[in-house]
């Protein structure tokens, strides 16, 4: 017989990301953040390759990354709206964790499975932050796909990429519930 954890299931059934613009100081200090990071790294990892790493962004790193996003956006020919959106999460950031996909060569574990594992780290960190009572949001945006931003801003190696930025801080406004996918229309059952 299963040993249910009703509180955990209820959390998963009702969890929701908090809009990044509603997140304000304070964010978690290192002592509060470390258990969330440990929870995030307990993610599915075929072959025990650990094809990911974490970069914690705090303090003066935010204005530096905001400026870099604008500089890179101008170099890429982004319009004013894209420039503003590219730097917004860094202009408003309190604390963020960049989840870095860092794939390893392996004959039996395709890189795509390692990408999925990095995405699982993002979701595990997001859920751990929410379960701990913080507001949290998983963001990406064009800077997270720009090689120059990745290498100059976060020191990524050529084979690495950003899976997401998980912003964690105190939520100031409760956002309304959004529509959720319809289970019946999204599910196919195969019995034979």
Residues of each annotated binding site:
15-17, 42, 46, 138-140
Structure tokens at 117: 């594992």
Q: Which residues pair with 165 in a beta bridge?
A: 98, 139
Helix (H) or strand (E) holding 69: helix 61-75
| Angle subtended by helix axes 30-40 and 111-131, to nearest 10 | 140
Please tell me whether residue 8 adopts helix, strand or coil conformation: helix
| Cα separation, 92 vs 85, whole angstroms | 11
Q: How many residues appear in the chain?
A: 192
Output the known binding site for FMN.
15-17, 42, 46, 138-140
Dihedral sign, CA of 116, 78, 20, 154?
positive
């Amino acid at each position: 017989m299963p040993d249910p954890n009703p509180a955990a299931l209820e959390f998963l059934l009702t969890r929701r990301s908090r809009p990044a613009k509603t997140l304000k100081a304070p964010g978690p200090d290192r002592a509060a953040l470390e258990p969330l990071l440990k929870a995030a790294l307990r993610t599915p990892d075929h072959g025990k390759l650990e094809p990911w790493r974490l970069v914690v962004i705090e303090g003066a790193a935010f204005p530096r990354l905001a400026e870099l996003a604008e500089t890179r956006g101008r170099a890429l020919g982004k319009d004013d709206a894209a420039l503003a959106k590219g730097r917004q999460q860094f202009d408003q950031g309190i604390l963020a964790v960049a989840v870095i996909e860092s794939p390893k060569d392996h004959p039996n574990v395709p890189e795509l499975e390692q990408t999925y594992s990095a995405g699982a780290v993002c979701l595990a960190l997001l859920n751990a932050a929410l379960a701990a009572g913080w507001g949290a949001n998983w963001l990406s945006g064009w800077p997270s796909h720009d090689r120059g931003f990745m290498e100059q801003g976060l020191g990524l190696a050529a084979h690495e990429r950003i899976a997401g930025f998980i912003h964690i801080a105190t939520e100031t406004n409760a956002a309304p519930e959004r529509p959720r996918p319809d289970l019946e229309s999204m599910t196919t059952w195969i019995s034979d």
